[in-house]
Every structure is written in C-alpha cells, then in structure tokens.
Copies of this chain bind each other. A is one copy, B any other.
C-alpha cells in the first residue's frame, strides 16, 4: 500500500495522536453540562465562531494561486486536531479532586477549543507555504500546551480580562508563529514566484474575510458572563469593524499612486478592528470609543501590510506568509494597551452595578478587592507574559520544526505549491514543476535530488 516508508510518517504520527486522544478521552472525559437559557443563547454564537475557524481562516488563507487545497484542507486538519487536544490538555491541567479527577465536556469546552484553534491557525498563517503538514501537527501539539499555560497565568493568576482573546489568542498566536517562522527561515522563503494570487484565488479568500468580519461580534461576545456584557461586546465589535472597513479602503487608496485599492488590505486590514476592540469589547468604552479603535486598527494594519511586512522579511528574515503581525499582532497589542487604559477607569461611576461583573477582581467580597490601577497593572503584566511565552514557545517550537529529522519541510520549488501535499491533475501542475523526481529519495533531506 505504501511504497516509501518515509511517506507514511504523517499517517503514523496522526494515528498515534488519535489513539492517545481516544485513550485519554476514555480515561478522563465525562459529559457534564448545565441546562438552561444560557445554552440556548450560547449555541448559535458557538456556531458563528465555528464558522470563523474553518470557513473564515481556511478561505482567508486560500489567496495563493496554487495553495488553496493546503490552506483550506490543512487548516481543517489542524483545527480538528486542536479541538480534541485542547479539550484534553486543558482538562488535564484542571483535574481536581473536587471534580473526581474527571474532565467535564460541555458546550463551554467546545467553544474554548475553538478559541484555542484560532491561536494555532494564526500561527499557521505566519508559516503557511513553508511548512509540511507534519511540521504543523508538531507545532499544534506544542502550541496548545504553551497556550494553556499562558491562559492559566492570564486568567487564573493575573485575573486579567480579555473577552475577545486579543492578548491570549491574537497576540499569542501571531508572535508564536512569527518566532517559528524566524527559526525555520531559509533565504529562499522570500521572493518565491509561487507566492502570488490569481483573480479567483483572491475571490475565494474574500469568502473567508467576510465571514470573519460578520461573525466577529460573536467571537468577542461568546464567553461574556452576563447578557449586558454580551450585548455591549456585540455593539462595540460591530461599530469598530464598520469603521475599520471604511478607513482601510481610505488608507489603501492612499498607498497607490493611482488611488486604487489593494485587495490584500481589503482581505485583512478590514478585520483588525475586531482584534483591536477584543480586550475591551465588554467595557464601557462607549460607541465613539469603539469607532475610534476601529479607525486606529485600520491605519496600523493597512500600513503594516503595505510597508512593514516586506521590511521585516528583508531586514530580519521575518517572512510572514499571511501578514499575521499586521492583522493579529499589532492590533492585538493595540487592544491590550486599550485594555490597560480602560481598566484604569474601571470605577463605579463608569460601570455602576456592573463593575464587578466586568472586573471580578475588583470585588471586595472575593477578598481580592483590587483597585482599578492594580487591575490595569495586571492587564499590562498579561501582555508582557503573553509576548514572552509566545516568543520563547515559538522559538523552541521552531527549533523542533527545523532540526527534528524527517519532517519533510518543503524545498524551494514546492513552496506555496499544492502538488507537494495533494494529488493534482496533470493540467494543474505548474509548468516549472513538472520535472520533479518521483523518487522516494526526496525525503532524505536537502541533499536529495528532488526539488519538491
């Protein structure tokens, strides 16, 4: 069935992982859910987030002319892996005698796993086209573990508030991925002829953009603990994204001598408002605050795509396939800073009876009784720890991906090219690649004769 043993390595590892998951589910997992109106409110939002992960991220990354199968297919694969692994690993970390050493499975587990997949898919975006499925599987396994650790520090130790995950998902995912990208960098990663879009691949990408933009209010509101916060998170995200879209088009037209729009900006920077409002989405930032955040995010993100991305590649070897620094990294840091500032204004005058809903650590009755300034400090500490763990975690993970043998990283000719990992019809094979060796030797590292 398999003529080259090395080529079954992906299958062996995938089966092994799935078997481990099966055993751990068997040993530890049990259904444990609460019934009530919360669930009925929750499930439609969960489904919106679910669409964002698989349709949104998958299609958004399908902009490359001959890498759509990988973008959508391997996005699908990695997300399905992360959904299971996060439920298990998150559960193992929180095992307690109180819960009889069992992992509870409920709708909250499912949506938390979806959120975690967002972080991994953002990292994926930094290195798509330059990595094999096997490398991405390894990254996903390791990243989930660091993610859970970081989230534990942020949420349970620092009691930071980050309803839309701008720090723990977006900043974490972006800089984890960029750190990986830096470690695995090879000069031929820059300037590949395959790294280009076609008219229709860009159309497919817009499917991802629009669904992400539409359902982002659900992403930022899903885990709110009160309905007031949920509605506010929906409103703030909606307004921020609307302003972000308009300003992205404006800035984009300024970057072209003939005033034309750049579709890369439309596909990506229009979404930055959802990231930048994420930490403070449930705060009393007021409608004008949400709009202002969207404006800032659009400017930062569009200029990042236009000027910073290429410079980072050329000067620092930081090749960022989808520009995740521009869409998730810098807007996420913006969100964190807004969260710090806004938390400093977390007082009864602004929040009334909702104060302790939004900032539970300010509640006297919990014994924490932080001041608003202290809360702002912990928000800042969360950003710092998130950046630290993302970068260190990404560097270590990148080292595994670079130096672990047999991971089958793509060589120059097969960068950003589906023919490496997917069966293609002859007519779809890019001309310059038709003379590749079908020899099994190609897996034997870079000294092989194969160019794919």
Contact A254 B30 (CB under 8 A): no
Least Cβ–Cβ distance between A47 and chain B, in angstroms: 6
Bound complex: CA A287 to CA B242 (Å): 39
Contact B110 A250 (CB under 8 A): no
Least Cβ–Cβ distance between A215 and chain B, in angstroms: 7
Known: A238-B83, A259-B10, A438-B258. A291 touches B21 (CB 8 A): yes
Interface residues on A, range: 35 or more
Bound complex: CA A424 to CA B200 (Å): 12
* A255 interfacial by beta-carbon distance below 8 Å: yes
Q: Could you tell me which residues of chain A, from 392 to 433, have a CB within 8 Å of some CB in chain B?
A: 420-425, 427-428
* A73 interfacial by beta-carbon distance below 8 Å: yes
Least Cβ–Cβ distance between A358 and chain B, in angstroms: 13
- Measured between beta carbons, the chain B residues less than 8 angstroms from A107 are 231, 234-235
- Measured between beta carbons, the chain B residues less than 8 angstroms from A214 are 47, 50-51, 54-55
Contact with B along A26-56 (1 / 0, CB 8 A): 1001110101010111011101101100110
* A270 interfacial by beta-carbon distance below 8 Å: yes
Contact B66 A199 (CB under 8 A): yes
The residue in chain B whose Cβ has the minimal distance to the Cβ of A245 is: B80
- Measured between beta carbons, the chain B residues less than 8 angstroms from A21 are 243, 291
Contact with B along A193-227 (1 / 0, CB 8 A): 00011111011101100110111001000000001
Bound complex: CA A255 to CA B4 (Å): 11
- Measured between beta carbons, the chain B residues less than 8 angstroms from A47 are 44, 48, 214-215, 218
Which A residues are within 8 Å of any B CB, using their own CB? 1-4, 6-11, 14-15, 17-18, 21-23, 25-26, 29-31, 33, 35, 37, 39-41, 43-45, 47-48, 50-51, 54-55, 58-59, 62, 66, 68-69, 72-73, 76-77, 80-81, 83-84, 105-107, 110, 133, 196-200, 202-204, 206-207, 210-211, 213-215, 218, 227-228, 231-232, 234-235, 238-239, 241-243, 245-247, 249-251, 253-263, 266, 270, 284, 286-288, 291-292, 295, 420-425, 427-428, 438, 440
